Amino acid sequence: MSIQVLKPKFEIEECLDAVRECLEMGWTGMGFKTVQFEEAWKEYTGHKFAYYLNSNTVGLHLAVQILKMQNGWIDGDEIITTPITFVSTNHAIMYENLHPTFADVDDYLCLDPVSVESRINEKTRAVIFVGYGGRVGQLDKIIEICKKHDLKLILDAAHMSGTCVNGVTPGTWDGVDVTVYSFQAVKNLPTGDSGMICFPDAASDKLVRQLAWLGINKDTYARSNKGTYAWKYDVDYVGYKYNGNAIMAAIALVQLKYLDRDNARRRQIVEMYNKSFANNPKIKIVGAPNHKECSYHIYELIVPDREGLLGKFAENDIYAGVHYRDNIEYSMYRYAEGTCPKARNISEHIITLPMHMWLTDEEVMQIANIVNEYVK
C-alpha cells in the first residue's frame, strides 16, 4: 500500500448520520448545522464570534476587505506577509488591490519579527501571520510590533485548528484583529471545503455575514423564521457568495469531536520522527514554541538533497511533499526576488513527511529509517 503525505480520516458512520439529518430535514444550505457549528467552534476555541464560510481563502479575502473598508485603506497600501505559505494568503491581499510586501521567516518558518519591522513604511497597514504547521512562532512579538506601529494583524490559522498556548487559542489573543481557519479536505479538521472567520467584535461579525451573502442584509435562515415580511430585504454592498453550507458543517461538527484526539496522535508521530532524527547532524528539525499544544498540521525537515530524498521515497511507494515553495518564485510575486534569502533557502531544502491518522507506528519508523539511510 502506498503512503500519502496527507490523507483525511473521517468518522464515516457518524458523518453520514449527520448528513442524513440535513437531507431529511431538507436543509442543506446556510443555516441549521452551520449555526450549530459556529456555536460549537466558539465554545471550543474561546472566540467570541465565528462565521462559517466555504473556505479559508474567501475568509482571508473578507478579512482584508473589511479591514480596508473600516480603516480607509486605499489601493496600493501594503500588507506585510510571508513567502512560506499557500498562495491563498497572498492572493487575499491582491484581491483588494493592496500590495504584498514579503518579510523573511524565522526558525519556526513563521514571520520573523526583526524582518517584519524592517519592512514597515508609511504605506504599511497590516501584517498577515501564518501559524505555519500549527506553530505559534513569535506571534507575541509580531503583536507588539503591530501595536507599536498601529498596524492591523490578520492570523491565517489554516493549520491551527486545536493549537493552544497555555490552554488559550492564539487567535483570541488581544491584538489579533481577525483569525481565519481552514477545514479543507486535508486539514486537521477535514470537511470537503470550508472555513471559519472569527472577528473579536460584533460589528465586524455582522459585516462579514452580510458581505459573504451578496451584501444582503438578512440571511435566508433569518428570513425563513420571520413572518409575512420574510421576503423583504435590502442590499447594501456588492457582496460575494462565500457562505458555508449545512452538509459541510454536519461533517465538521462530527470531526470537531475528534480534533483533540487526532491532534494528540499527530504529536505522537512528531515525537517519533523527532527522536529518530535527533542524532542526525545533516537533518534540521523544525521546532515549535508551543510543542506540547501544537496542532502539527504538517511535519517538515530541512535536508541537503531534498529532490533525492523525494525520489527515494517514491521508489518505496511513499509520497512526501513540499510545503511550501517560496511564493516569490511564482511569476506574479517575482517582483520581490532577493528580499527573503532565508525563505528561499528553506524553499530549496524543505520536505514534508507523511503525517495523518492512517499512519501506523511501523510506517512512521519505516519513513524515518528511509530518511536516515539516505541523509548521512
Ligand X SMILES: *Cc1c(COP(=O)(O)O)cnc(C)c1O
Contacts with ligand X by CB under 6 A lie at 55-57, 85-86, 88-89, 130, 156, 158-159, 182, 184, 195
Nearer to ligand X, 56 or 255 (CB): 56
Residue 266 exposure: Cα atoms within 13 Å on the Cβ side: 34
Q: Residue 253: helix, strand or coil by DSSP?
A: helix
C-alpha cell at 369: 529509517
Pairing of strands 99-102, 152-157: unpaired
Q: How far is the CB of 131 from ligand X (least distance, A)?
A: 8
Nearer to ligand X, 297 or 344 (CB): 297
Tabulate helix, strand, coil % of the chain (nearest 5): 45, 15, 40
CB-based contact 112:266 (threshold 8 Å): no
C-alpha cell at 196: 471559519
What letter does residue 208 receive in the DSSP assignment?
Answer: H
Q: How far is the CB of 53 from ligand X (least distance, A)?
A: 8
Nearer to ligand X, 88 or 295 (CB): 88
Nearer to ligand X, 96 or 156 (CB): 156
What letter does residue 109 receive in the DSSP assignment?
Answer: S
Nearer to ligand X, 113 or 195 (CB): 195
CB-based contact 160:166 (threshold 8 Å): no
d(CA 177, CA 269): 33
Q: How far is the CB of 182 from ligand X (least distance, A)?
A: 3
Q: How far is the CB of 171 from ligand X (least distance, A)?
A: 14
Sign of CA dihedral 18, 21, 27, 33: negative
Q: In which element (H, E) is residue 296 found?
A: none
Nearer to ligand X, 158 or 371 (CB): 158
What letter does residue 243 receive in the DSSP assignment?
Answer: B
d(CA 341, CA 347): 10
Q: How far is the CB of 254 from ligand X (least distance, A)?
A: 18
d(CA 235, CA 215): 5
d(CA 274, CA 285): 7
Q: How far is the CB of 297 from ligand X (least distance, A)?
A: 7
CA distances from 135 to 129, 236, 252, 272 (A): 11, 39, 22, 18
Radius of gyration of the chain (CA): 21
Q: How far is the CB of 85 from ligand X (least distance, A)?
A: 5
The dihedral region occupied by 76, where left means phi > 0, alpha psi between -120 and 50, and beta the remainder, is left
Q: How far is the CB of 62 from ligand X (least distance, A)?
A: 12
Nearer to ligand X, 239 or 321 (CB): 321
Nearer to ligand X, 85 or 347 (CB): 85
Nearer to ligand X, 54 or 276 (CB): 54
Q: How far is the CB of 56 from ligand X (least distance, A)?
A: 3
